């Protein structure tokens, strides 16, 4: 009976501690949402404004390609939206020095920023996908009579592209977060404090070269054939002329669950390294 009571006590205490951490994490995510929602709103307004301006320019010059091409720029720039959002969140806390005295772990602090940025990114991509979809429904004759748009992907294809953009955005965000923490961690070394940006730059180049080298090894290429499943390849062809716009989005292709898992582990290592450095209460 005593053993049972002790077991119930420890299980109950663990559950309550988990709920307490969950509530703290939700509070941090809410804080990031309140800080970043105005920035997100302005980014959405900027996307609409960009489409309206391109519409007016195309109408004035009677060149339909300007309007349809400009709308695709919105999708292409989506990864930079998440980059700007999470960079803004990091700089905000960096200026206020809040995390130096924050009782929460670095994993919760950085994790809340990453999750909120992903949520912002998803909202932006959904908005941009709908905006591009509606834009391509505008008749080409409204700009010029002899212009044709061929095989533009539907909303489902745009959402697939958005999914790829979200994955790319997460990779960029985690990498940027790691480099940002490293940059401020190097401030504790007075000898290189003024040139630490150079060390971060070479670190970034080295990480890219290492990733490319690993990806080109025979071992990795063999692993890339294991647990391969059909997936959206993201391949496409695009051509634009004065009288024609062609866009072909091709499906098919395979993706290895094994190498994808290794990539996820690599991102997790970068995230944990960022948390470890931040837990040392670096001053920025």
pLDDT at 7: 45
| pLDDT the model gives residue 250 | 53
Q: Residues 6 or more apart from 85 whose CB is under 8 A from it?
A: 36, 39, 40, 43, 117, 120, 121
- CA 149 vs CA 41, 140, 152, 170, 250: distances in Å: 31, 8, 7, 32, 17
Token couple for 116:
């909120």
What pTM value is reported for the model? 0.77
Q: Looking at per-residue confidence, does 174 or 10 come out higher?
A: 174
pLDDT digits (tens, 9 = 90+) for 129-182: 888 888 878 777 777 666 666 655 666 777 777 888 888 888 888 998 899 889
- Mean pLDDT for the chain overall: 75
The larger pLDDT score, comparing residue 251 to residue 202, is at: 202
User: In sequence order, which ranges of the chain are alpha helices (DSSP H)?
Assistant: 2-61, 64-76, 78-96, 106-135, 155-185, 196-215, 218-223, 257-279
Distance of alpha carbon 279 from the chain centroid: 24
- Res. 205: pLDDT tops 90: yes
pLDDT at 103 over 60: yes
**Longest Cα separation, the chain:** 86
pLDDT tens-digit map of 260-270:
888 889 999 99
Q: What are phi and psi of 239, to 5 degrees?
A: -145, 145
What's the pLDDT band for 209 if we cut at 50, 70, 90?
very high
Say whether 148 sits in a helix, a strand or coil.
strand
Question: Which of 35-39, 54-58, 202-206 has the weakest average pLDDT?
Answer: 35-39
Estimate the crossing angle of helix 155-185 against helix 64-76, to 10 degrees. 50
Strand duo 254-256 + 228-230: pairing: antiparallel
pLDDT at 102: 61
The predicted model gives 94-110 an average pLDDT of 68
Q: Which of 112, 106, 114 is nearest to 281 (CA)?
A: 106
Q: How many CA atoms lie within 13 A of 128 on its CB side?
A: 33
Lowest mean pLDDT among 1-15, 103-117, 145-159: 1-15
pLDDT at 234: 47
Which range in 18-32, 200-214, 231-245 is most confidently predicted, on average pLDDT?
200-214
Which of the residue ranges 72-76, 159-163, 186-190, 198-202 has the most confident prediction, judged by mean pLDDT?
A: 198-202
CA within 13 Å, CB half, 95: 5
Name the least confident of 18-32, 89-103, 172-186, 227-241. 227-241
- pLDDT score for 269: 92
Most confident of 60-74, 172-186, 212-226: 172-186
Is residue 114 pLDDT above 50, yes or no? yes
Q: CB 4: neighbour CB atoms within 10 A?
A: 8
Nearest to 271 by CA among 141, 117, 92: 117
pLDDT value of position 17: 47
Q: If residue 153 lies in a helix (H) or strand (E), which one and from where to where?
A: none
pLDDT digits (tens, 9 = 90+) for 44-61: 899 899 989 988 888 888
Provide the 8-state DSSP code for 254: E
């Amino acid at each position: 009976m005593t053993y049972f009571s002790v077991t119930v006590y420890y299980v109950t205490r663990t559950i309550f501690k988990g709920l307490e951490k969950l509530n703290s994490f939700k509070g941090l995510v809410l804080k990031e949402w309140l800080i970043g929602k105005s920035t997100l709103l302005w980014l959405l307004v900027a996307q609409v404004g960009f489409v309206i301006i391109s519409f007016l320019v195309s109408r004035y010059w009677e060149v339909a390609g300007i309007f349809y091409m400009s709308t695709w720029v919105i999708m292409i720039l989506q990864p930079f939206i998440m980059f700007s959002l999470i960079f803004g969140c990091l700089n905000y806390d960096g200026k206020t020095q809040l995390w130096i005295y924050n009782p929460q772990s670095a994993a919760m602090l950085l994790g809340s920023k990453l999750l909120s940025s992903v949520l912002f990114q998803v909202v932006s991509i959904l908005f941009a996908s709908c905006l591009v979809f509606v834009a391509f429904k505008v008749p080409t004759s409204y700009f010029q009579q002899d212009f044709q748009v061929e095989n533009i992907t539907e909303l489902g294809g745009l959402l697939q592209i958005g999914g790829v953009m979200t994955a790319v955005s997460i990779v960029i965000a985690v990498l940027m977060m790691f480099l940002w923490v490293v940059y401020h961690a190097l401030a504790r070394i007075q000898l290189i404090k003024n040139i630490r940006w150079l060390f971060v730059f070479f670190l970034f180049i080295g990480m890219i070269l290492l990733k490319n080298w690993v990806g080109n090894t025979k071992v990795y290429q063999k692993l890339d054939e294991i647990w391969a499943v059909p997936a959206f390849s993201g391949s496409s062809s695009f051509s634009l002329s004065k009288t024609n716009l062609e866009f072909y989005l091709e499906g098919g292709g395979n993706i290895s669950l094994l190498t994808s898992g290794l990539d996820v582990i690599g991102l997790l290592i970068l995230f944990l390294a960022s948390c470890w450095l931040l837990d040392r209460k670096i001053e920025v």
